[in-house]
Amino acid sequence: MSAPEKPSPSPPIPQSLPSVVAIEAEPEALLIGWEEVPNAVCYELQMARKVSESTGDDEEWTSLSASRTCISLPSLPPTLPIPSPPSILSSTTSIVICIADQYDSSSTPSVKTTMVRKKNLCPSTLYRFRVRARDNVDWMPFLQSSLLRTLPPSLQKMATPREERGREGGKAGCVALAWESVDGAEAYVIEMREQGKVRWKEVGKVGGTSVKKKNLDGGKKYHFRVRPLGEGGEVGSEENWAWSAWSEALAPPMLSPALKNLLGPTLLVGGREGGTAGGVEELLAGKVVGVYASAHWCGPCRQFTPLLADFYKRMGGGREGGREGGRLEIVFVSLDQEKEMFESYFESMPWLALPWEDEEGGEGGREGVISAYGITSIPRLLIFGRDGRLLESNAVGQQFLKEEALSAWWEGRSFQGHVHKGGGGCCGGGGGGC
């Protein structure tokens, strides 16, 4: 029987890979991290205290050692035996998984995470860190070491910045951030970090206490931190300030895939802008969405449409005065028989509409909505929550045209406590008057 093939070693690590960075610094602790190395099953982290800045001398390198505890081990490559019990690196850092029993753990303690908080350090002190990775064959070379400093105990720290969405919905790809002012601060500098990543990036400097970061990926979350700048760009006014604690992970609004697929890529902007096209994600992300099936020939529709338009405007909808809209957006789905009637009716509406024709010249999106929700009578108003769930199957009626209803939808609840079924309209889809 032939011996099993040995796994091929991973390619060498390029020297350009980033080394250890300080994600957060405190007087007696450092939260440090490094970029994940492809094919790594664990890492060895070493630390040396800086003895002299002038001579460049360091103390001897020491690996961050571990006490032993048994916890569940994550999945490992099939070529690696699973130790029993697995060892844990828990020293003065947070507990992280150590799989070093397979590789002589007494000489090379290792960690599976790429972030470690090292505690019990001295304030205002330089420490050097370095890290190396191991694949399922052998240890790779150490990455270039990094010199990191703990903070002096006298530094002040701002309160944690918070998301500022208020009563309005957010905008696709955008996070609004606010923080408390600092006396004497001339400006504030803001940094952001993608959740799970270790490097901070500067967003910019602002003179106020709020900022909107645009062009973010709707599928990701981000942390933010702030610190004040004094006159001439020095940090703080009379005393130095450390970075604030970072915000919770904030995600820019995004439209649910199901609703995006249902409505298609493009919507028309109605009212004064008369049919201007816009992207569905940009127009609807982060909002309660009402899908309004109606037609010009339908008498009950002509009665309900002005009531709905008044409610829509009272709730902050529409684009009058350059507003981007509030928590609610409405999309008109026409059941008119002729394009001219659709266009005439849509001109009286302040909201959005599905195009009369799709890109191939067919009824496309309109027919898809009508078929998907069995719309056989109008007016019909479907209400979808911010996560894309259907909250009301028909919200036609003045009992829904109140702020309490929108607040319930914003929180992901049906206003009446259940999904309404049934028509609510008297007009069939044939196009006759009623």
Check: CB of residue 276 under 8 Å from CB of residue 306.
no
Closest CA to 7 of 142, 111, 134, 141: 134
**Identical topology for domains 21-149 and 257-428:** no
Q: Which residue type, as a one-letter code, is found at position 93? A: T
**Phi, psi dihedrals of residue 260, rounded to the nearest 5°:** -65, -45
The CATH code of domain 257-428 reads: 3.40.30.10
Residue 400 is predicted with a pLDDT of: 94
Residue 237 is predicted with a pLDDT of: 40
Convert the pLDDT of each residue in 33-76 to its tens digit: 998 888 888 888 999 876 555 555 556 788 874 322 222 223 33
CA distance 102 to 83: 7
- Going by pLDDT thresholds of 50, 70 and 90, the confidence category of residue 318 is low
- DSSP per-residue letters across 105-119: TTT---BS-SEEEE-
Is residue 79's pLDDT more than 50?
no
Convert the pLDDT of each residue in 170-201 to its tens digit: 677 888 999 999 988 889 999 999 999 999 99
Considering the four listed CATH numbers 2.60.120.10, 2.40.110.10, 2.60.40.10, 3.40.50.720, the one that applies to the domain covering 156-242 is: 2.60.40.10
Convert the pLDDT of each residue in 370-428 to its tens digit: 999 999 999 999 999 988 999 999 999 999 999 999 999 998 999 975 444 444 555 66
Check: CB of residue 377 under 8 Å from CB of residue 426.
yes
Tell me the domain boundaries of the chain: 21-149, 156-242, 257-428
CA distance 294 to 395: 13
- Going by pLDDT thresholds of 50, 70 and 90, the confidence category of residue 85 is very low
Kind of pairing between the strands at 62-63 and 328-334: unpaired
Give the number of other CB atoms < 10 A from CB of residue 23: 20
115-118: strand order across its sheet: 21-26, 29-33, 115-118
| DSSP-H helix ranges across 196-273 | 257-263
The CATH code of domain 21-149 reads: 2.60.40.10
Give the number of other CB atoms < 10 A from CB of residue 418: 10
